[in-house]
Structure 1
Amino acid sequence: MSRSGADLALLLLGGFRTLVDAAITELADRGYDDVRPVHDFAMRAIAAGADNASELGRRLSITKQSAARTIAVLEERGWVTSGPDPRDARRKRLEVTPLGHEVMTVGESIFDDLRERWKTQIGAAELETLEKQLTALIGPQAVRFDSPGWLARDLGGPAD
């Protein structure tokens, strides 16, 4: 059966969506019922050095206002704290809390479990081949922290 390039893109997106949806369901079953993919992207960006709303917005390719709303949710859930920056009292510095790190660690563990399910479903050799082929096509670091905003980026074309 011949497939189009669009079919391939949808299959890849479907695989991503299947894994993420299963992880969100499992997180909820484990007591983390309010985790969303953007929360993980944001916490990972903060842990990697995005220590204020402006930098988080840049790394996620979202507005500073959207970053501030995301930060507010993360703080409300106890996953991130903000406090004065020791270098500049006018700024607030973000930090992932131990609970935030726990959420990320549990999520990673769930993805490991989901990978094992796929290995059982299609076979270890087939999964390894799939991973090698995807790595050859897209490189070793497939997703950057700015992924949530990649659809919204301006490519210089006419606005709709």
Structure 2
Amino acid sequence: MSRSGADLALLLLGGFRSLVDDATDELAQRGYQDVRPVHDFAIRAIAAGADDATRLGQRLSVSKQAAAKTIAVLQERGYVTRDADPLDGRRKRLQVTDLGFEVLRQGEEIFDELRDQWVRRIGRAELERLEKHLATLVGGSAVRLDTPGWMTRDLGGSS
């Protein structure tokens, strides 16, 4: 049976969604009921140097206001802090807390477990072949932190 290009895109999105939904559910089972996929992207971006709302918004391709809302949630839940910048006392820098790094670690562990489930379903060789083909098709740096903004971007050019 031949599929369309749209079918392929939906299958790939479905695979992503399945893994993310299962990981979110498992994180909740482990006591992190308040973690959402966008929080992972934001925490990773902050850990990589997006240390204020402007930079975080740029990294996630969302507005500064959307980034500020995400920051407020992450602070409230103890995943990030806003500390004085040692070089500029007027500026506050975002930093990931130990709890934030623990959530990332737990998430990575869960994704490894989910990958193992896929190995049991289709076999190691098939999954490795799929991963190899996907790497060939999407390139070596397929992971982008701007996914939250990309998924909701306005293609018409307005903000």
> Given the two structures, how large is their TM-score scaled by the length of structure 1?
0.95
Q: Runs of 4 or more off by more than 4 Å in structure 1? A: none
**1:38/1:158 Cα in 2 relative to 1: closer, same or farther (>3 Å)?**
closer
- After superposition, residues 1-160 of structure 1 pair within 5 angstroms as 1-153=1-153, 157=156
Where 2:84 maps in the other structure, the secondary structure is strand
Measure, in 2, the Cα distance between the counterparts of 1:93 and 1:102: 20
C-alpha change, 1:30 and 1:126, in structure 2 (3 Å) is same
SS of structure 2 residue aligned to 1:95:
strand
SS at match of 2:42: helix
Distance in 1 of aligned mates of 2:10 and 2:43: 27
- Amino acid across the alignment from 1:48: A
Which residue identity does 1:87 align to in structure 2?
A: L
Cα distance in 2 between the residues matched to 1:154 and 1:11 = 23
Question: Within 1, Cα distance between the matches of 2:137 and 2:16?
Answer: 16
Sequence identity of aligned pairs in percent?
69
- Partners of 1:60 and 1:158 lie apart in 2 by 17
Looking at structure 2, the residues matched to 110 and 140 of structure 1 have their Cα atoms a distance apart, in angstroms, of 22
Structure 2: how far apart are the matches of 1:151 and 1:99?
A: 27
- Three-state SS of the structure 2 residue aligned to 1:90 is strand
Distance in 1 between residues matched to 2:153 and 2:33, nearest whole Å: 30
Residues 1-40 of structure 1 show CA distances to partners (whole Å, capped at 9, x for unaligned) of 1100000000000000000010011001010111100000
Deviation at 1:152, TM superposition (A): 3.8
Letter of the 1:121 partner, please give it: R
Q: Distance in 2 between matches of 1:41 and 1:158?
A: 24
- RMSD over aligned CA atoms reads 1.3
Mark the runs of 5 or more structure 1 residues left unpaired by the alignment. none
Q: Which runs of 5+ in 2 are unaligned?
A: none
Q: Which amino acid aligns with 1:141?
A: S
CA distance in 2, matches of 1:87, 1:73: 26
State the one-letter code of the partner of 1:89: G
